[in-house]
Amino acid sequence: MVKLQANTIRTLIEAALFCAVIAFALSTFTYKDMYDNQVIETEVVQAELDDVYKQIDEERTELDRLTEYLQGKYGRDKAESTRVAQYLLESSKEFKLDTRFLAAQLDVESNFNTHAVSYVDGKYVGARGMMQVMPFWIKHIPWLHSVKDLHNPRLNIRAGAYILAKYVKECGGTMEMGLRCYHGGYRAIKNPRVSTVQYVERVYKRYNTI
């Protein structure tokens, strides 16, 4: 009887240890990042795991929506549209911006044209690429090294998101003021030009269609 009890206790202990190992193994969640395909490993409890799944689902839904928007409006193939949508999601997440606003601004700035160069009244003014980034920003943004980088979609979108986030923070904390300063500089805080006001209105209008 004593021997049976001892064996039963040992079996229960072994079962408990086995369950503990399984529980620990299940708490390690491995997945591939949708942006750069690096494997990310993290230990999470079940509630945190559910949050991770929810976030992934939300990002994929947003990715699909942006991809469809680009395809529908500009007739781009799915692969190219998906890449641009990924860059928008990546940059908006990094700089804590609304992805739809970033997409709307990019739409107004260049119609998603990576080769865009700005001219005003026939005069070249310097802004380049999808987010129409001015070359002087090359000295202030570490991942930009030359004018050529301004025509790299990923680098340009990231630079534009950085600049917009900077202006939002420094020009009153709202998207409207951030857009004003992006278009017209700090003077647009109090005295925006008519073209700057129209620019902000156009971005908001596009935002509501995405």
Shared-domain flag, residues 62 and 158: yes
Shared-domain flag, residues 105 and 161: yes
pLDDT of residue 189: 94
Residue 43 has pLDDT above 60, yes or no: no
Do the beta carbons of residue 70 and residue 83 sit within 8 Å? Answer: no
In this prediction, residues 143-150 reach a mean pLDDT of 94
Overall domain count for the chain? 2
In this prediction, residues 62-77 reach a mean pLDDT of 85
Count other C-beta atoms under 10 Å from residue 53's C-beta: 12
Shared-domain flag, residues 25 and 104: no
Shared-domain flag, residues 100 and 9: no
In this prediction, residues 132-147 reach a mean pLDDT of 94
Shared-domain flag, residues 108 and 132: yes
Shared-domain flag, residues 73 and 99: yes
Shared-domain flag, residues 35 and 51: no
| pTM (2 d.p.) | 0.71
Shared-domain flag, residues 34 and 81: no
Q: What is the dihedral of CA 126, 209, 67, 181, to 10 degrees?
A: 30
pLDDT of residue 126: 85
Shared-domain flag, residues 19 and 51: no
pLDDT of residue 31: 46
Q: Kindly report the CATH number assigned to the domain that includes residue 115.
A: 1.10.530.10
pLDDT of residue 4: 44
In this structure, is the dihedral angle defined by the CA atoms of residues 146, 152, 158 and 164, taken in order, positive or negative? positive
Domain extent for 107: 44-207
Shared-domain flag, residues 92 and 19: no
Q: Report strand pairing: 28-32 vs 39-43.
A: antiparallel
Q: Tens digit of pLDDT for each residue in 4-38?
A: 444 554 554 555 555 555 555 444 444 444 445 55
Shared-domain flag, residues 71 and 128: yes
Q: Phi first, then psi: what are they for 39, rounded to 5°?
A: -80, 130
Reduce the DSSP state of residue 128 to 3 states and report it. strand
The Cα–Cα gap between 65 and 193 comes to 33
Q: Tens digit of pLDDT for each residue in 88-136?
A: 999 999 999 999 999 999 999 999 999 999 876 666 768 999 999 999 9
